[in-house]
Structures are given as structure tokens and as C-alpha cells.
Amino acid sequence: MTEGLDRSHRPAPGNDTTPAVGAASVPLCFILDEAPSTRSFLSLVMHGVGIETEELADPTGFRQALQRRAPDLVFLDVGLDSAEVIELVASLGRRGYRGHVQLISTRGAAVMEHVRSIGQQHGVEMLPPLKKPFDANAIVAIIQALKLGHAQPRAARVTLREALANGWIEFWHQPKIDLRRKQLAGVEAFARCRHPELGVLLPAAFMPEAAEADLTTLSELAIASVIAGSERLSRLGINLRFAVNMPVGVLVKLSIPDLVHKHCAQLHEWPGLIIGVAEEQIVTDLALATELTRQLAHVDVKLAIDNFGRGYSSLARLKALPFAELKLDPTFVADCGVDPINAPLCKTVIDLAHNFGSLAVAIGIEKATDALALTSMGCDIGQGFLLGQPMPEDRFISLLRQRAAGQGRALAANG
């Protein structure tokens, strides 16, 4: 599962540049854009599909990066000075670069097509220009067309019992982002099955019709995994609360405190855990939720309602709610920035969460307009394609290290 963080084996580009595309190492993308938000967004999407990135803010940094290693893909912002971008594209041609270049810009199509044509004249593989703003789906479509990153999961089915018995289960990390501060606020772990022949399979391929005993084993494995992951992050100086989902029936049967004590070496340093339960399984038995909250408090485990929204009417009249988070149903989040029905629904659920002292979490954010609308509504945390897909743990850690290194360089430059 692990992919080494050291990419020094990748050859530096020159006149006889070895083609990077199709190489056995992890694909690499250079992102040259003076806007940090664009670089960050593209990196999150790239890491989510298994592509390493290097974020670059100016042409000088881009040229220096080219001396170190050759990318498979380059995203170039065509800013106000298109002559500088033209020279960069031409220099790629002179180096014999055999990857692809994706132009992005807020400028008109004519300018980008002009830069593209010059790149083609120099023998560079220039992709059709992409106008800003763009969403994550557009980026993923480009990656898939180039056959970079993780292969698309194939239509296949295995049983959860088979996956557990063979040790194929692993847990991928998805960032939870503080929408107001634009900072990492937590991590949610999702099960994946890494089949030796079929590749990485999503839950739809191994979770349907799973027996409760196997779901219980999976949940135990998830808790052990996130505690270990939390401790690995703490050694890097990063303390983040993890979240996992499990059925209420499994949650009731498991002794969560015993599992925490068993796997957590330093309980006093542990940032805690959030367990999400489906709305339809818990809103009809809030007495159970209250009791579970009481039992789990001493090990800093809290509950959340997953896919919340349809049960609003049954909770709105209450005076207290034993949940740390209310996670908005993705069907309400989709297009909430423009949909006249979804927008007020999201605002109502967000206000309800705050009335109970809970955090409002929007899951399934795919568009920048929705993220902006949710932020203006007061939503606390966001998850989704726009903010980062689930990714292998080593990829997630690589992203954190890259962010830390970038912040260090920025502080040094400003100091």
C-alpha cells in the first residue's frame, strides 16, 4: 500500500528527457499558478486520485523544479503576462518534454489558444485549455483521459468476509475542512478493498449484504486503524480528531471504551473520535443516543448523525441533542449555492445544529459555489470532492508534509 515519499529516483529533465508518462513511479504534476487557492485545490484533487504534486508560484520556481525532476503533467496559469508562459512552454519543447501541459486561465479563449498553438509548434503535448473557474470533476476527467493516477475501480464484487479474511481492507483518509478558516479540521476514514487482481474497490463492491458479524469486525478494525493513524500523525506534531461510520446495531454491541484502551497507548494525548450513525437508525431512539454519549464521554468519543436532513421535523422540537455533529445529506448540499429548494434546507439544518451546540458538517461538496454558499450560511466543516477525496494514508501524510514545507518557505520569505 505504501508509496515512498522520496521521489529522487525520477530523472531530471534535459535534452534527452526520459518520458515520465507511464513510468512505474507515482505520477507527478507541476502546478504553476500565483493563486494559492488554485494550487491548493488542484493538489487536493490530484492527491485524491494518486498523483503527487509540486506547487509553484512563479516561473523561477518552475524552472528550478524542472532541474530536479520531470513531471507527467503540468498545469500552467496563463496570467496577465502570457509572454512568460509562452517562453516556459517553448523551453519545455526545447528540453524534449514528453508529458502533457494543461493551460488554465480566467482570460479569453483566444489568448489560451494562441499559447497552446505555440506549444504545439515546439512539439509539446498541449491539452485543450481550461477556463477558470472549474470544478473537481473537470480535473478528474483530464486525469482519467491521460490514464494517470489510480485506475478507475472495475465493476466487481467480493464479499466483506472474503476481504477481511485476506487482509485486503485498508482505510483511506478524507480531509475535513474548516470552511471559515480554510484549515484542516479533522479526518474521516473510509474502508477500501485492495484486491490483488481487481485493484482498489469501493464499498459498493464489498459492503452490500454484509453480515452483522463482518460489519462488527470491520468496525473494530476501523477503530484500531484510526487510533494508530492518529498516533502516527501526532508524532508529526499534528493532532486531528478522526471520524468513522458504523451501524447502530454494531455500535451497541461493541465495547468502544475497551477498544480505545486496548489500542491507544497515550489516552491523555489522544484527540478523540467521532462515530457517525445513519439518521434513520438513530433519530427514532434518542434515549439510546443519549446513553451511548454518556458511556463514551470518558474516552472522548462523540456521536454524529450522518446524512441528516429528512429527520429535521422529529428533532426541531427538542431542547437538547446528544450529537457533536450534524452531517448534511449530500442531496441537500448539491447545488445549494443556486438551488432555491436546497439552499433554505441547508440553512435550516445548519441553524438547528448550532441551536443544539453541534457542528454543522456539509458532505459531498463538489462545486466552489456550494462551498461559498455554505460558508455564508455559517456551516462549520466541509467534506467532498472539491476539498479532497479519500486517499491512502501515506498520500494524506505526504500532502500534510508538503503543506507544512510550503508554509515554512512562505514564513522564511516573509521573515
Instruction: Indicate the residue among 89, 123, 151 that finishes a domain.
Output: 151
Q: Does the residue 415 lie in any domain? A: no
Q: Do 189 and 146 share a domain, yes or no?
A: no
pLDDT in tens, 339-369: 888 899 899 999 999 999 999 999 999 888 8
Mean of pLDDT values over 150-169 = 83
CATH code for position 145: 3.40.50.2300
Q: Does the residue 18 lie in any domain? A: no
CATH code for position 289: 3.20.20.450
Name 55's bridge partners: 31
Mean of pLDDT values over 195-217 = 90
pLDDT at res. 406: 61
Q: Which of 260-269, 314-323, 392-401 has the lowest mean pLDDT?
A: 314-323
Separation CA 92–CA 279 (nearest Å)? 53
- Residues in Cβ contact with 312 at an 8 Å cutoff, skipping those fewer than 6 apart: 348, 349, 352
Q: Does the residue 311 lie in any domain? A: yes
- Residues in Cβ contact with 52 at an 8 Å cutoff, skipping those fewer than 6 apart: 7, 26, 27, 28, 29, 46, 398
What's the CA angle centered on 404, arms 245 and 78, to 5 degrees?
100
Q: Do 214 and 167 share a domain, yes or no?
A: yes
Q: Does the residue 414 lie in any domain? A: no
pLDDT at res. 201: 86
The count of domains in the chain is 2
CA distances from residue 74 to 9, 63, 68, 396 in whole angstroms, order as listed: 19, 12, 15, 21
Asked if 97 and 70 count as a contact pair (C-beta separation under 8 A), the reply is: yes
Q: Does the residue 17 lie in any domain? A: no
Q: Does the residue 375 lie in any domain? A: yes
Instruction: Indicate the residue among 115, 130, 151 that finishes a domain.
Output: 151
More confident residue, 197 or 117: 117
Whether the full predicted model's pTM is greater than 0.85, yes or no, is no
Which grid cell sits at 224? 484500531
Cis preceding-peptide flag for 27 (omega within 30 of 0)? no
Domain span at 238: 160-402
Query: pLDDT averaged over the chain?
Result: 85
Instruction: Indicate the residue among 151, 181, 199 that finishes a domain.
Output: 151
Q: Do 71 and 217 share a domain, yes or no?
A: no
pLDDT at res. 134: 79
Q: Do 79 and 216 share a domain, yes or no?
A: no
Asked if 276 and 239 count as a contact pair (C-beta separation under 8 A), the reply is: no
Q: Does the residue 409 lie in any domain? A: no
Q: Do 124 and 195 share a domain, yes or no?
A: no
pLDDT at res. 190: 96
Asked if 151 and 167 count as a contact pair (C-beta separation under 8 A), the reply is: no
